[in-house]
Chain A
Amino acid sequence: MAEPFLIGDAMTGGYGGADILHDCTIAVEKGQIAVIVGPNGAGKSTAMKAVFGMLKLRMGAVRLEGEDITALTPQARVAKGMGFVPQTSNIFPSMTVEENLEMGAFIRRDDIAATMEQVYTLFPILRDKRGQAAGELSGGQRQQVAVGRALMTQPKVLMLDEPTAGVSPIVMDELFDRIIEIARTGISILMVEQNARQALEIADKGYVLVQGANRYTDTGQALLADPDVRKSFLGG
């Protein structure tokens, strides 16, 4: 089998002290959506952070396009084409929407106007609010700013930590639609989600984590159809 576009392979590690991840593998193919679900405290966000280099791995490796990036800092991974949207404090609240996007593209030295135009096309509301401080926006709009900021580096992989946390169901559907649109442009998406059912519906690949280890791994549809997964994790 060919190597996936991005893979956190057999990752074991924690924040110092006891391990949180145990031989956990997360991967995503080019232009596909991979979703990590699981109960509270299963290590979903930790697995994501490990892939992004915010957690020291004791064993295992992270590879992007076949290149071992395990030793790289998160900032270096951004330069390699990985974008990360943290769950909380993912915007610059006192800066305008446009400045938030500019800061997202800080490492780029070329013209960012075209990328900004793409973000505004993807999230039209941000164009209307471009001069407004991002901290004054609604929860859903802030998430759009956060995703837009991460897109400004023109990443090959976009990692989202619970993008729909704390937004209304309507906004959540809207955000998922946008995420599918992003994936269609060839950007791989790796995301952690609390709303497991909706997330698996749009997922090409789903990972169910329990206690820091892979429990079920399959396509999103297959996991939704699996009676064990439904019973244990999707509420029947």
Chain B
Amino acid sequence: MEFLNALVSLSNFMLIPALAYGSQLALGALGITLIYSILRFAHFAHGDTMALGTAAVIGGTFALQGAGVSIAPLPTALLAVPIGVVAMVLYLLAADRLVYRYYRRVRAKPMIFVMASLGVMFVTNGITRLFMGVGETRFEDGARFVFSVRDFRAFTGLSEGLALRNAQAITIVTALIVMVALFWFLNRTRAGKSMRAYSDNEDLALLSGINPERVVTITWVITGILLVLAGTLYGLDKGFRAFNYFQLLLPMFAAAILGGLGNPLGAIVGAYVVAFAEMGVTFAWRRVASYLLPDGFEPSGMVQLLPVDYKFAVTFMILVIVLLFRPTGIFKGKVL
């Protein structure tokens, strides 16, 4: 019983939130890794494009709510996702035509692309703030819980409670579906295979009649879908604030690099490792420990390695360690 209580407490405060956070990071990191393998640069505008995409979804959500549309118990935002996807795909393609395509034509060095994406990042950031301001916007509606702490306690009779929030459940399920769909696309369809071929050997892909501009366009479309989903799920879970999305850049890049840049499976694994490491190190283990340790050994402190404010320090450490000792990442990706 003690062990079960420990497990429930751990799930409630750490495992489920980390799983949801990891899923959000994974969708973002997949976009980063795809852009890196096809366009061969680190896409710094990722976090802010995610914010703008989420802003579009929020706009759509408010409009739908105003029109009285509801899919309760699911959040209305899910209905608005296609609006955000279309807006962001157009935005990303416009950025590609206006900025990146020129550098592709002159075969600029990757670092120049990175700097260009930094510029796109600032512009995107500005546009988002113009529409959304810098404060927090909440747009979650519908039912709040799949099951609440009270439901769980009543059902199991355990003293510890476990809640599964709607946003968390939706995040985990959506991420799973999207990942399966992405792998199916990359491994089974003609367009997906042409993307992998282009990533593998650009010149030979050209010789085989694969149109690079088409591959690039498909990549932006997929990135747009991944971005908007990741941003919306994150916003439903934690609320929307433009600055938080910018900050997501670090864990997303850490995830992609840790998994092996250019490797989609690596991005997913890396995202969960980063999420669990961030949560694990900043988690107060006292309650879990007090269940597991024998009586009289209960810790007096919080047993928290780092305050939550320092969670990005954990990610930074992971990044530094990976770059120092295994720059190709877990799954042998490309080196940045």
Chain A residues close to B by CB (< 8 Å)? 74-75, 78-79, 84, 86, 89-95, 99, 102-104, 106-107, 149, 153
Please report the C-alpha to C-alpha distance between residue A208 and residue B294 in the assembled complex, in whole angstroms.
87
User: Chain A residues near B201 (CB, 8 Å)?
Assistant: 89, 91-93
Also in contact, A78 and B207, with CB within 8 A (given A95-B193, A102-B193, A103-B194)? yes
- Contact between B196 and A106, CB atoms less than 8 A apart: no
- Contact between B209 and A95, CB atoms less than 8 A apart: no
**Per-position binary interface string of chain B over residues 129-163, scored 1 when its CB falls under 8 Å from any chain A CB and 0 otherwise:** 00000000000000000000000000000000000
Leading 6 A-B pairs by shortest Cβ distance: A107-B209, A92-B200, A103-B197, A106-B208, A106-B209, A92-B197
- Contact between A75 and B209, CB atoms less than 8 A apart: yes
A170 CB to nearest chain B CB (Å) = 27
Interface residues of B in 271-305 (CB under 8 A from A): none
- Of A78, A89, A106, A149, the contact of B203 (CB 8 Å cutoff): A89
Check B205 for interface membership: any CB of A closer than 8 A. yes
Most buried by B among A79, A84, A104: A104
User: Chain A residues near B190 (CB, 8 Å)?
Assistant: 106
B267 CB to nearest chain A CB (Å) = 15
Check B210 for interface membership: any CB of A closer than 8 A. yes
A91 CB to nearest chain B CB (Å) = 7
- Contact between B203 and A103, CB atoms less than 8 A apart: no
- Contact between A74 and B207, CB atoms less than 8 A apart: yes
User: Chain A residues near B205 (CB, 8 Å)?
Assistant: 92, 103
- Contact between B209 and A78, CB atoms less than 8 A apart: yes
- Of B193, B194, B200, the contact of A93 (CB 8 Å cutoff): B200
| Minimal Cβ-Cβ distance residue in B for A104 | B208
| Minimal Cβ-Cβ distance residue in B for A90 | B204
Give how many B residues have a beta carbon under 8 Å from the other chain's beta carbons: 16
User: Chain B residues near A79 (CB, 8 Å)?
Assistant: 209
| Minimal Cβ-Cβ distance residue in A for B194 | A106
Q: List 23 A-B residue pairs with CB atoms under 8 Å apart, sorted by A's residue number.
A: A74-B207, A86-B203, A89-B201, A89-B203, A89-B204, A91-B201, A91-B204, A92-B196, A92-B200, A92-B205, A93-B200, A94-B200, A95-B196, A99-B196, A99-B197, A103-B193, A103-B197, A104-B208, A106-B208, A106-B209, A106-B210, A107-B208, A149-B208
Please report the C-alpha to C-alpha distance between residue A103 and residue B204 in the assembled complex, in whole angstroms.
9
Check B173 for interface membership: any CB of A closer than 8 A. no
Please report the C-alpha to C-alpha distance between residue A75 and residue B203 in the assembled complex, in whole angstroms.
11
Please report the C-alpha to C-alpha distance between residue A66 and residue B273 in the assembled complex, in whole angstroms.
62
Interface residues of B in 178-212 (CB under 8 A from A): 190, 193-194, 196-197, 199-201, 203-210
User: 14 extra interchain contacts, Cβ-Cβ under 8 A, other than A92-B201, A103-B205?
Assistant: A74-B207, A75-B209, A84-B207, A86-B207, A90-B204, A92-B196, A92-B197, A92-B205, A93-B201, A95-B193, A99-B193, A106-B208, A106-B209, A149-B208
- Contact between B207 and A95, CB atoms less than 8 A apart: no
Please report the C-alpha to C-alpha distance between residue A84 and residue B204 in the assembled complex, in whole angstroms.
10
A216 CB to nearest chain B CB (Å) = 31
| Minimal Cβ-Cβ distance residue in B for A152 | B208
A89 CB to nearest chain B CB (Å) = 5
Please report the C-alpha to C-alpha distance between residue A106 and residue B191 in the assembled complex, in whole angstroms.
10
Please report the C-alpha to C-alpha distance between residue A88 and residue B203 in the assembled complex, in whole angstroms.
11
Please report the C-alpha to C-alpha distance between residue A37 and residue B110 in the assembled complex, in whole angstroms.
38
- Contact between A86 and B204, CB atoms less than 8 A apart: yes
- Contact between B204 and A92, CB atoms less than 8 A apart: yes
User: Chain A residues near B194 (CB, 8 Å)?
Assistant: 103, 106
B212 CB to nearest chain A CB (Å) = 10
User: Chain B residues near A86 (CB, 8 Å)?
Assistant: 203-204, 207
User: Chain A residues near B197 (CB, 8 Å)?
Assistant: 92, 95, 99, 103, 106
Most buried by A among B190, B193, B194, B201: B201
Also in contact, A103 and B206, with CB within 8 A (given A94-B200, A95-B193)? no
Most buried by B among A84, A93, A106: A106
B306 CB to nearest chain A CB (Å) = 38
B215 CB to nearest chain A CB (Å) = 11
| Minimal Cβ-Cβ distance residue in A for B199 | A94
A159 CB to nearest chain B CB (Å) = 11
